[in-house]
Amino acid sequence: MNIEILRDRPFSEGSGVIGYPELPRLIDRKYLGSNPDAFQNLLPRIFDHLSELSGYYPGFDEWLNKKVLPGLMSGERSILLEYRRGDLSGLAIVKDDESEQKLCCLRVLPPYQGTGVGLKLFERSFEVLNNDSPLLSIAEEQLVVFRKIFQYYGFEFAKIYPDYYRPFKAELSFNGLIESDSSFSLLKPSTGFQLPKFRKSTHG
């Protein structure tokens, strides 16, 4: 059964309360079981805040509807939300199943970038997964944004995947592999992208 997320009632940043009786910090199977109306009233508004990431990942909306939503219902995925003064400031999606523990995506809303929201979401993701080095991947353009954070946490660069999601653009994995196919290599893509060189952080 395919369940589609409806997006007919988006909410704007800085709007305060997001049109729901309470502001949950974690949306998972337990929360949805107790709040079934969240499928229509809350999740569409949350998913809208992830739309900026679709530029890096073609088919992102389909992934939300066909992977994230069923994963929330099965218990293998959770959404973490952060707020500042009652406004949504950032959110992350994590996956925890028998095959992998993964930080699937993380977004800090523009007004709150550089305020520590991202670090808070990383820390909370580690707690939910019970793992401080979960698998994750980023588009090559995002390396400049995440480099210091990844270094702080001692994330280990694992592999580069040229043309993985988009032609002539690479996807970088950390703390593990997103694709075990040996046809993917550590060769630099033709865009001139440089492989990251991290040192282990002293972060405990």
Domains and CATH numbers, the chain: 1-130 (3.40.630), 135-204 (no CATH)
What is the residue-wise DSSP string for 159-178?
EEEETSSSTT-EEEEESS-S
Conformational region of residue 11, where left means phi above 0, alpha means psi within -120 to 50, and beta covers everything else: beta
- Tens place of pLDDT per residue across the chain (204 aa): 333 333 333 344 444 434 444 689 999 999 999 999 999 989 998 888 887 777 888 889 899 999 999 999 999 999 999 999 889 999 999 999 999 999 999 999 999 999 999 999 999 999 999 999 999 999 999 999 899 999 999 999 999 999 999 999 999 999 999 876 544 444 444 344 455 555 544 444
What is the residue-wise DSSP string for 82-137?
EEETTEEEEEEEEEESSS-EEEEEEEE-GGGTTTTHHHHHHHHHHHHHT-SS-BEE
